Chain A
Amino acid sequence: GQNIDQPTEMTATEGAIVQINCTYQTSGFNGLFWYQQHAGEAPTFLSYNVLDGLEEKGRFSSFLSRSKGYSYLLLKELQMKDSASYLCAVPIDRGSTLGRLYFGRGTQLTVWP
């Protein structure tokens, strides 16, 4: 089965850097996704990591360590619009193409001015 742990809430100040952690257990690792969800809106895709290391995409970076079952999302130069829930997700199926995802409960980030 799958299990994902991420902090429930985090707060940070505009312009700062914040790191949102995600630890996971899965029967067969097949990559890890991060999604952003603003209140009352649909989740939107942020990043996908399948190999160890850091992947940078503008102000957002995502890190993966497969041996530790650990990932983090790094947000730099925080803006008010970054206030949202950040969802960590892993595929349920290993070695298949079904594309089903298991989601964590999300981390609610609040950015203060």
Chain B
Amino acid sequence: NAGVTQTPKFRVLKTGQSMTLLCAQDMNHEYMYWYRQDPGMGLRLIHYSVGEGTTAKGEVPDGYNVSRLKKQNFLLGLESAAPSQTSVYFCASSDRGYNSPLHFGNGTRLTVT
């Protein structure tokens, strides 16, 4: 039972480069989320999805795009990376949304130089 799997685990980008972070869950959850975590700050919501084919902006969406073409996958894209996007990115899923615990992936540590 894999749960939530994120790839890659680590990545170093140069300013202006693009990349896609992949999140896959095998729990048949409807809701999926992308958070970023920075030192001294709480987890902040970037984008989320309430079902296949849907996406919506969270608290800090600028500079990111997402897609949810399949229920089990939620992709986070950086079109032109900036040093301010250096962070640890966590994907999470839940089955009911409201009052349902989040299941997190192990994170992607991204450094933009």
Contact = CB atoms under 8 A, between A and B. Distances in A.
Contacts of B97: 96-99
Contacts of B48: 98-100
A99 B96 contact: yes
A104 B42 contact: yes
User: What is the predominant secondary structure among interface residues of chain A facing chain B?
Assistant: loop
Interface residues of B, number: 28
A54 interface: no
6 contacts: A98-B97, A99-B94, A100-B58, A102-B42, A103-B43, A106-B42
Interface in B21-57: 31, 33, 35, 40-45, 48, 50
Interface residues of A, number: 28
A16 interface: no
A45 interface: yes
User: What is the predominant secondary structure among interface residues of chain B facing chain A?
Assistant: loop
A105 interface: yes
Contact of A41 (B99, B100, B106): B106
A48 interface: yes
Interface in A9-68: 30-31, 33, 35, 41-45, 48, 50
A100 B32 CA distance: 10
Contact of A42 (B58, B94, B96, B106): B106
Given A30-B99, A48-B101, A87 B42 contact: yes
